[in-house]
RNA sequence: GGUGGUAUAGCCAAGCGGUAAGGCAUGGGUCUGCAACACCCUGAUCACCGGUUCGAUUCCGGUUACCACCUCCA
């Protein structure tokens, strides 16, 4: 039975979707004001892996996510780049699509933008005002947090303290407008020159940050969903406020399972602009990092644990991935020489499948699942070395590898890499030298290739090469 | 201050009441012209103190350290 940890209850719970066989899932997407950083990527990868596992075991997943495509951060970036808010958003939406495709993250079933749901946002806020849960104040609209029973439960914060903390950082303008410092904005009046504003019953303005997610969920998934995901930092205030809005709007439970991913640290430090270690996926890939290795690194750690990113951890991920790839490649080169089916191996595969699923069913324990993957790698390597192999077994082993690794977003097991002309020439010369048993020359050529990052090894079927990624 | 989390071999990291999975690295071996790959073998009493128990890394209490949230940062 599949179990998931729920931030709301702080407990691991049996997973029961609203409708058998179907999952409604929403994950908070990025504000598109820059290239996505490792944290964004981790979140997307964590929930992509979860989604893929659900699909693997037979669920149909409706996966909805958003782009926050407006806001002061986007405006500020526009100033820097000489672009409009809309242009900035478009640019980084495209970059998001590109980067996530490289990382082999499946596109959401529905990817909605805040600006696409403006009429719905206004209606939604109107509903909250009409119910007396929100109030207008000088062109702004605020949600009355006090009217949300259990406000703050998700982050396990005491209401009075939240209120006190909020009071301590209130700016003077908002202090006048808010009835209570803990109230949060649903709508902000907008009168700045050259900044787009949308019409509303409270005058021209823009939506608050939290409302878009509630509205999109309502529109695309309905009033109650199975899983809501996002970074752990979003539990408060973002998700807390979503609960207040949605449960106020619908008078029913909003989310069955709250799932939050842990952070990515860079060289054991929090990734932040002030530390200057903000690492974007775009930059890493531009510098030649193997996207599959990056995906593997960010996906192999349990989703709630922090990940440390460094040259060292990336290197180790690359080494592990290469080992997996080599096993798969060796298997593809095996020629079946025997009919029949080795039931011992097939039986072992079934038993491994059971343990693989047990691990993933346990709140997506990827570490344990990968232990089974490495057992499979070992089994594959052993089998490839045997004297005789059977087609049925080869196929079964290959399928198992591709199926499992696909859950982790690893699909490039063969590597499409090619040698360039210079490299190919050296490689061919070495083959000749070896054939002539000129070992001095062949060793020298091997060193030359090694300097180019190509490892050459001799096998019974001749030379093989592998490009070594070192970071 | 409040809340949540984490502390296991050189590194990454499982286990969560019965004398510590896996990966990387290290060392040894087989294979190889030499290497590489692969295969085989090789390592820790689990932050500290107390308690419960026949027995605790695993439960309870306490201490210490680190991290995160309590400011639209995933």
Strand residues in A271-318 grouped as ranges (E): 307-309
Peptide bond preceding A47: is omega within 30 degrees of 0, i.e. cis? no
d(CA A345, CA A132): 66
Can you tell me the mean pLDDT for A197-215? 95
Percentage of chain A surpassing pLDDT 70? 100
- For residue A302, give the nearest of A260, A353, A355 by alpha carbon: A260
DSSP string, A123-134: HHHHHHHHTTSE
Confidence of residue A170 (pLDDT cuts 50, 70, 90): confident
From residues 66-95 of A, list those within 7 angstroms of strand B by Cβ.
71, 73
Mean pLDDT of chain A: 93
- From the list A264, A235, A250, A133, the residue with the least C-alpha distance to A186 is A133
Average pLDDT for A419-439? 94
Q: Is the pLDDT of residue A469 over 80?
A: no
Cα angle A116, A117, A123 (rounded to 5 degrees) comes to 155
Q: Do A24 and A225 form a contact (C-beta atoms < 8 A)?
A: yes
Indicate the pLDDT class of residue A416, thresholds 50, 70 and 90. low
| Residue whose token pair is 């047990």 | A358
Provide ipTM, 2 decimals.
0.93
Strands, sheet with A140-143, edge to edge from the N-terminal-most edge strand: A134-137, A140-143, A184-189, A205-207
A1 — pLDDT class (breaks 50, 70, 90): confident
Asked whether this chain's domains A3-275 and A320-407 adopt the same fold, the reply is no
Q: From the CA of A332 to the C1' of B33: give the distance in Å.
A: 28
pLDDT at A320: 94
Average pLDDT over residues A339-355: 92
Judge whether residue A415 has pLDDT over 80.
no
Name the protein residue, with chain letter, whose CA is nearest the C1' of B37.
A457
Nearest to A121 by CA among A45, A41, A213, A34: A213
Q: Do A292 and A104 form a contact (C-beta atoms < 8 A)? A: yes
pLDDT at A138 exceeding the cut of 90: yes
CA dihedral A388, A394, A397, A401 (to 10 degrees): 120
> Which of the two residues, A286 and A461, has the higher pLDDT score?
A286
Digit-coded pLDDT (tens) for A113-134: 999 999 999 999 999 999 999 9
Q: List the one residue out of A139, A88, A95 whose CA is nearest residue A115.
A: A88
Q: Where are the domains of chain A?
A: 3-275, 320-407, 421-467
DSSP A237: I
3-class DSSP state for residue A371? helix
A20-70 residue pLDDT tens: 999 999 999 999 999 999 999 999 999 999 999 999 999 999 999 999 999
pLDDT confidence tier of residue A251, bands split at 50, 70 and 90:
very high
**Class of CATH domain A320-407:** mainly alpha
**Any idea what DSSP says for residue A235?**
I
Tell whether the model's pLDDT for residue A394 goes beyond 90.
yes
Strand B-contacting residues in A 119-178, CB cut-off 7 angstroms? 155-158, 161-162, 165-166, 169
Confidence of residue A437 (pLDDT cuts 50, 70, 90): very high
Residue A461 or residue A427, greater confidence: A427
Least trusted range by pLDDT, from A135-139, A255-259, A451-455: A451-455
Is the CB of residue A235 inside 7 Å of nucleic acid strand B?
yes
- Place A157 in a pLDDT band, splitting at 50, 70 and 90: confident
Higher pLDDT: A257 or A11? It is A257
Question: What percent of chain A shows pLDDT beyond 90?
Answer: 82
- Residue with the larger pLDDT of the pair A173 and A47: A47
Return the higher-pLDDT residue of A64 and A341. A64
User: Which homologous superfamily is A3-275 in?
Assistant: HUPs (3.40.50.620)
* DSSP letter assigned to residue A162: H
Q: How far is the CA of A313 from the C1' of B11 (A)?
A: 9
- Going through A304-430 in order, the beta strands assigned E by DSSP cover 307-309
């Amino acid at each position: 039975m599949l179990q998931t940890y729920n931030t709301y209850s702080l407990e691991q719970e049996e997973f029961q979707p609203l409708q058998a066989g179907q999952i409604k899932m929403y994950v908070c997407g990025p504000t598109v004001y820059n290239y996505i950083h490792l944290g964004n990527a981790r979140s997307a990868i964590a929930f992509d892996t979860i989604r893929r596992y659900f699909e693997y075991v037979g669920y149909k997943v409706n996966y909805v996510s958003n782009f926050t495509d407006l806001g002061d951060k986007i405006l500020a970036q526009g100033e820097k780049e000489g672009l409009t808010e809309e242009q900035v958003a478009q640019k980084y939406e495209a970059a998001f699509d590109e980067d996530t495709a490289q990382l082999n993250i499946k596109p959401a079933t529905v990817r909605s933008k805040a600006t696409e749901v403006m009429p719905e946002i206004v209606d939604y806020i109107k509903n909250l005002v009409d119910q007396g849960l929100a109030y207008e104040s000088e062109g702004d609209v605020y949600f009355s947090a006090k009217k949300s029973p259990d406000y703050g439960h998700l982050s396990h914060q005491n209401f009075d303290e939240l209120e006190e903390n909020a009071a301590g950082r209130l700016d003077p303008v908002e202090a006048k407008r808010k009835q209570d410092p803990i109230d949060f904005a649903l709508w902000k009046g907008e009168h700045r020159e050259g900044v787009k504003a949308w019409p509303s019953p409270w005058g021209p303005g823009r939506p608050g940050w939290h409302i878009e997610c509630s509205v999109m969920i309502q529109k695309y998934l309905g009033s109650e969903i199975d899983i809501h995901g996002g970074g752990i930092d979003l539990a408060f205030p973002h998700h807390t406020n979503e609960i207040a809005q949605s449960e106020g709007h619908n008078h029913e439970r909003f989310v069955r399972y709250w799932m939050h991913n842990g952070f990515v640290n860079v060289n054991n430090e929090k990734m932040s602009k002030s530390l200057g270690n903000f690492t974007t996926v775009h930059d890493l890939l531009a510098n030649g990092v193997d996207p599959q290795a990056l995906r593997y690194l960010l996906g192999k750690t349990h989703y709630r644990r922090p990940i440390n990113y460094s040259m060292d951890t990336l290197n180790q991920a690359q080494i592990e991935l290469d080992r997996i790839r080599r096993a798969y490649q060796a298997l593809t080169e095996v020629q079946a020489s025997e009919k029949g089916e080795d039931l011992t191996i097939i039986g072992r595969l079934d038993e491994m499948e059971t343990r693989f699923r047990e691990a993933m069913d346990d709140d997506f324990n990827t570490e344990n699942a990968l232990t089974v993957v490495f057992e499979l790698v070992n089994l594959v390597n052993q089998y490839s070395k045997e004297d005789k192999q059977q087609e049925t077994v080869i196929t079964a082993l290959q399928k198992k590898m591709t199926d499992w690794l696909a859950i982790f977003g690893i699909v490039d097991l063969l590597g499409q890499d090619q040698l360039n002309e210079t490299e190919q020439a050296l490689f061919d010369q070495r083959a000749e030298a070896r054939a002539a048993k000129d070992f001095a020359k062949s060793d020298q050529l091997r060193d030359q290739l090694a300097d180019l990052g190509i490892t050459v090894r001799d096998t019974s079927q001749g030379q093989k090469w592998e490009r070594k990624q070192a970071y």
